[in-house]
Amino acid sequence: MAIEKKTIRLLILEDSQNEAERLVSLFRNAGRATRVHRITSSDNLAEALQQSWDLLINAPSSEHLEPSEAISAIRRQAKDIPVIQLIADNDSDAVTEALMLGAQDALPQGEDERLILVANRELANLEERRARRSAEVALREAEKRCQLLLDSSVDAITYVHDGMHIYANRAYLKLFDYEDADELEGMPMIDLIASEDQGRFKDFLKNYASDEGNAELSCGGVRPDGKRFQARMSFSPATYDGEPCIQAVIRAESDNAELEEKLREISSQDLVTGLYNRTYFLELMDSAAQRAVNEGQPSSLAYIRIDRYSDAIGEVGLAGIDILLTDLANLLRGHFGDSAELARFGDDVFTVLLPGVTPQQLPEQLQPLLKKVEGHLFDVAGRTVQSTLSIGVAGLSEQTSKAQDVIDRAHRCADELEGNAIKVYNPADELAAAANRGSLVAMIQQALENNSFRLLFQPIISLRGDSDEHYEVLLRLLSPQGEEVPAAEFLSAAKGAGLAEKLDRWVILNSVKLLSEHRSKGHSTRLFVHLSANSLQDQTLLPWLSVALKAARLPSDALVFQISETDAVTYLKQAKALSQGLAELHCKVALGQFGCALNPFNTLKHLNVDFVKVDGSFTQDLSNADNQEALKTLLASLHAQAKLTIVPFVESASVLATLWQAGVNYIQGHYLQGPSQSMDYDFSAGDE
């Protein structure tokens, strides 16, 4: 959640240093990083209020400063700092008095669990207020920019309220041959419409309010000298000077109108399936979110992922997968009908937006789809392929102003399925997950403070007689009970709490330290270290890394920084800049989980990469000739670009011959050695 991403700045009015420290540890144990100031006097508070604070907790009383005075000082300076007043006992009069003075809440001292719940609520409210103020400023700025764009737009644009012009830009004046906007102000728009089209135009405006979204109308326009022209008008809801109105964009129709319409249609389509593309679907989601918030109209999103997609690519190739996708798209069209908005959202993902439907109503409609797809025999170039779907469902309601949140929820639901199933997002699950993330975040912060993460090393072994030693560094976290926390869980929690960059730096520093010791014993060892998506976007990483390597007196090429293909595709610009920067520092770069994007070599083209680690899915079932061919083709293309290749998940001796023939440079997997706490693999054992 957003409030977990930042450190809480906490003021405490409490005479006892021990009690103040106990309050701080409550927050830290709840997974909230804090920066604290204890108030010791009226002057001390005045000085502290020169800075920004998130929360004030008052003890029932203080010798240094009356709690009521602290609240008054905050109100006098018009500071938005929520106050929680602790009281000596559960006296309702004391609670009322504190609330009347301006505290957000009052509760008995010692009710720690309740204090954290109240504090979280007030911090969330504070974040909402700050976000609203930022949004109001951004809205004013956006309105100014919109006005400038309207004034300078080449499209003829007018704003109409109750059928009257309230604004017209220069292009509109020019189109209708008016000198000055004042001439149009207060004039009915119908006066500019050809007489034979006026009835149709009037009916259109009358019915427009009940129509959904944008609408178009073709009719004749009339200039003051009586000259006519044919115009295409696009209408959409808008506000002008804070008043709701209708925006009309008018284009004089020409011979190119049909071509323009065709181009607009193509720009919103996925070229393989003919469904909407991701960009256009995101616009549809934004409009649906707007309708949900402003008009209370619910909608639902189904996030439909094809199960075992990479296996299917291995079976039928990229050309074949396009045939399967087109066939599946037609099946989806037939199932959902005309009311649904369908899109191809990603390589293996379709999305469906269903207006007026709640998430609870969807599973009944989706169950037959699962059966239909499971029983469907896709014919791909004379070959039969079967597939199943994982479907995540989430709804848009008056509380979902951000469409992206809904997409993320449906995506998470689909990710949690094992195939051929539906999961509907449940807000209660989110609360439980948030609580779980909170305890995980507390564990992560504790491990960072106590240096108690564990690093494991898994050897990456050369099939080509390379004498260097290579290990991949893996991070592990142990729970207080000594059990290993799944890496995916704690890394996800760290990302959500804004701690991913800290984890990356902890791993780099400790890897550098251990590598320095190991190399001093005569080993020429390299370590592969993972970088998160957050580090890709961190512009301070390169200068920090340069200093860290110099301090350790390590050659820069002793570290290989590994970026996942998914992160590289999402943040391609940042990944490109980082890979170039690392090359300038003489560090090596690896691209991991390679080969699952629709066009993986396009990503590779932009990056300065030394090693490429293919996705683990390519080594599954290598006894199948088609799977072998898919891997060999991928590796041949990589070798043609002089990339050093790594194949992970080598779990048996039977695949080694295939990998050798394919010219693989390095292999990794449990068959060779699993992750270990020490760098003790005998790399010379294979040099016979």
Same domain, yes or no: 576 and 473: yes
Question: Per the domain annotation, does 492 fall within a domain?
Answer: no
Domain count, the chain: 4
Q: What is the pLDDT of residue 359?
A: 92
Nearest to 378 by CA among 331, 314, 324: 324
Same domain, yes or no: 260 and 282: no
- Six token digits for residue 679: 């760098």
**CATH assignment of the domain containing 36:** 3.40.50.2300
Same domain, yes or no: 592 and 513: yes
Question: Per the domain annotation, does 442 fall within a domain?
Answer: no
Same domain, yes or no: 221 and 277: no
Same domain, yes or no: 648 and 548: yes
CA dist 201 and 520 (Å) reads 84
Residue 204 burial (10 A CB sphere; 0-12, 13-18, 19+) = middle
- Across the chain, which has 688 residues, the per-10-residue mean pLDDT values are 59 91 82 83 92 93 93 91 93 92 94 93 93 87 86 90 90 91 86 91 76 72 89 86 86 62 71 90 90 86 93 85 93 91 94 92 92 91 89 90 89 92 83 60 84 92 85 90 82 84 93 91 91 91 90 88 88 93 93 79 90 85 77 91 92 84 90 89 67
Question: Per the domain annotation, does 490 fall within a domain?
Answer: no
Q: Show which of 134, 164, 184 is a domain's final residue.
A: 134
Same domain, yes or no: 261 and 280: no
Strands 525-530 and 469-478 turn out to be: parallel
CA dist 120 and 128 (Å) reads 12
| Residue 490 φ/ψ, nearest 5 degrees | -75, -30
Q: Show which of 224, 244, 265 is a domain's final residue.
A: 265
Q: What is the pLDDT of residue 438?
A: 61
Rounded to 5°, the CA angle 61-65-68 comes to 70
CA dist 648 and 636 (Å) reads 17
Question: Per the domain annotation, does 613 fall within a domain?
Answer: yes
CA dist 159 and 137 (Å) reads 23
In angstroms, how far is CA 596 from the centroid of its own chain? 19
Q: What is the pLDDT of residue 598?
A: 61
Same domain, yes or no: 272 and 258: no
Can you give the C-alpha Rg of the chain in angstroms? 31
CA dist 208 and 189 (Å) reads 15
- Six token digits for residue 151: 């004034």
Same domain, yes or no: 370 and 460: no
Same domain, yes or no: 361 and 317: yes
- Six token digits for residue 401: 């102003």
Question: Per the domain annotation, does 511 fall within a domain?
Answer: yes
Domain that holds residue 259: 153-265
Residue 219 burial (10 A CB sphere; 0-12, 13-18, 19+) = middle
Q: What is the pLDDT of residue 644?
A: 94
**For residues 481 and 426, is the Cβ–Cβ distance under 8 A?**
no
Q: Show which of 235, 265, 295 is a domain's final residue.
A: 265
Q: What is the pLDDT of residue 55?
A: 96
DSSP track, 619-673: GTTTTSHHHHHHHHHHHHHHHHTTPEEEE----SGGGHHHHHHTT-SEE-STTT-
Question: Per the domain annotation, does 439 fall within a domain?
Answer: no
Same domain, yes or no: 362 and 373: yes
- Per-residue H/E/C for 124-181: HHHHHHHHHHHHHHHHHHHHHHHHHHHHHCCCEEEEEECCEEEEECHHHHHHHCCCCH
**Largest Cα–Cα distance in the chain?**
96
**CATH assignment of the domain containing 281:** 3.30.70.270
**CATH assignment of the domain containing 578:** 3.20.20.450
Nearest to 8 by CA among 42, 46, 57, 62: 57
Question: Per the domain annotation, does 34 fall within a domain?
Answer: yes
| Residue 608 φ/ψ, nearest 5 degrees | -90, 90
**CATH assignment of the domain containing 184:** 3.30.450.20
Same domain, yes or no: 286 and 421: yes
Same domain, yes or no: 581 and 610: yes
Question: Per the domain annotation, does 28 fall within a domain?
Answer: yes
The size of the chain, in residues, is 688
- Six token digits for residue 593: 């989980």
